[in-house]
Amino acid sequence: GENVEQHPSTLSVQEGDSAVIKCTYSDSASNYFPWYKQELGKRPQLIIDIRSNVGEKKDQRIAVTLNKTAKHFSLHITETQPEDSAVYFCAARTPPNSGGYQKVTFGTGTKLQVIP
């Protein structure tokens, strides 16, 4: 099955600096890669996603890049703010299997701390 690795596990940056989180996946059939932000005790919130037919996507201060050949994708946050502090999860989703299900596998998470 799919295996998603995420690095680093913790990341501290000064306010205003950039933060980069990297993920690799194992199943070349995976075609959808969402990123979630989760604050303590709350639900994961989708912040950006990228599909396999796109190499890069940007939404204000957040961008995601995908390298299908190398099977890795990254989250970039620029001009970080204290409210960006949270745990971030990457995920990879495979196409429907014989049972019709698309399976999402999550990375292990990165705790981002933005220091004011």
Partner 1 sequence: GAVVSQHPSRVICKSGTSVKIECRSLDFQATTMFWYRQFPKQSLMLMATSNEGSKATYEQGVEKDKFLINHASLTLSTLTVTSAHPEDSSFYICSARAREGLYSEQYFGPGTRLTVT
Q: Which residue ranges make up the site for partner 1 (CB under 8 A)?
A: 31-32, 34, 36, 41-46, 49, 51, 89, 96, 99-109, 111
Query: In the complex with partner 1, which residue's Cβ is closer, 36 or 74?
Result: 36
Instruction: Tell me the closest approach of the beta carbon of residue 66 to partner 1, in angstroms.
Output: 14
Q: How far is CA 80 from the centre of its chain?
A: 16
Instruction: Tell me the closest approach of the beta carbon of residue 108 to partner 1, in angstroms.
Output: 5
Query: In the complex with partner 1, which residue's Cβ is closer, 1 or 116?
Result: 1
Number of other CB atoms surrounding residue 99 within 10 Å: 6
Cα distances (angstroms) measured from residue 77 to each of 30, 54, 65, 94 = 24, 19, 12, 26
